[in-house]
Amino acid sequence: MSSVLYDTPGPRAKRRNVILSVVFVVLLLLLAWWVWSALDDKGQLEWSLWKPFTESEAWTTYLLPGLGETLKAAALAMVIGLPLGAVFGIARLSDHRWVRGVAGTVVEFFRAIPVLLLMLFANEVYARSTDVSTENRPLYAVVTGLVLYNAAVLAEVVRAGILALPKGQTEAAQAVGLRKGQTMRLILLPQAVTAMLPAIVSQLVVIVKDTALGGVMIGFTELLSERATLAANYANVIQSFVVVALIYIVVNFLLTSFASWLEKRLRRSKRSTGAVLGEDTEINPAAIPGTFGTGENTGGGG
């Protein structure tokens, strides 16, 4: 094992690594023992507190319905947010200065605001000026907040995806006489969408995590708020947190794995132009020309 930071270890480095490993294991074991005894001290290791999770009632009454609501909100947010994001992403690449400016301002505005503020605001607007039932309002508010924020993020993903395509694609399209709209619709978007798929799937992880905010702050009955009901019923706060955290980890791990599988597959495929936005692609404002509405876009089409 060699990296830019160190050489392939020789005999002395190997010995040192073994010593470090042993010290590290001892430290980890000490930490584990400390956590275990703290749990034991407070009687948190009692089987009766963990037992509910081996029976179907806890799952069918609380956890699975909660997870269902979480996934429903996440799916709705993505299905509504993606087309909206695509519109704004393409608008930011427009040839018309004012279209670029307006789209850029909207996108930067919603990216700068915490998603919780958007949810609180949407919740209040629905309560005061619409006849959405009290029962449905939390779902509406959560999805609205998530859509506004994630559409702005996805707009940047779409824009980065289109900008990452080789310039020759636009030039070739213009050379065969396609109009601007045709170039975008027939040439750039189809290639950009495949390149963006991994980044879009990993944005789903962010959305799933953000649904938990709605559970605590505006009474959306998703997984985390079902945990509170469950813990109130079985008096197992610590245990319910551990199980709920594990559920989130499994769901998000599956999404992340799917994203990196997609990314690998797309990188391999012969038809791709080589531009793939990875799951780790940072939408770094400094890396994208024209961010913050400075209007120095170099991208083609619109």
Of 55, 112, 131, 135, the one binding other proteins by CB under 8 A: 112
Q: Does residue 36 touch other proteins according to CB under 8 A?
A: no
Binding segment toward other proteins, per CB under 8 A, in 24-32, 93-101, 160-168, 172-180 = 24-32
Tokens of 157: 């993903």
Q: Cα(257)–Cα(104) distance, rounded to whole angstroms?
A: 32
Binding segment toward other proteins, per CB under 8 A, in 22-30, 131-139, 167-175, 180-188 = 22-30
Of 293, 208, 290, 190, the residue nearest 244 (C-alpha) = 208
Q: How far is the CB of 238 from other proteins (least distance, A)?
A: 5
Of 79, 117, 186, 232, the one binding other proteins by CB under 8 A: 117
Binding segment toward other proteins, per CB under 8 A, in 50-58, 193-201, 233-241, 260-268 = 233-241
Q: Does residue 34 touch other proteins according to CB under 8 A?
A: no
Tokens of 109: 């505005």
Applying the rule CB under 8 A, the residues between 187 and 206 that interact with other proteins are 205
Of 45, 75, 87, 217, the one binding other proteins by CB under 8 A: 217
For the chain, the distance separating the N- and C-terminal CA atoms, rounded to the nearest angstrom, is: 48
Of 171, 208, 214, 194, the residue nearest 263 (C-alpha) = 194
Applying the rule CB under 8 A, the residues between 264 and 283 that interact with other proteins are 280, 282-283
| 125 versus 193: smaller Cβ distance to other proteins | 125
Long-range contacts of 50-55 (CB under 8 A, 24+ apart): 50/236, 50/239, 52/230, 52/234, 52/236, 52/239, 53/239, 53/243
**Residue owning tokens 């619109």:** 302
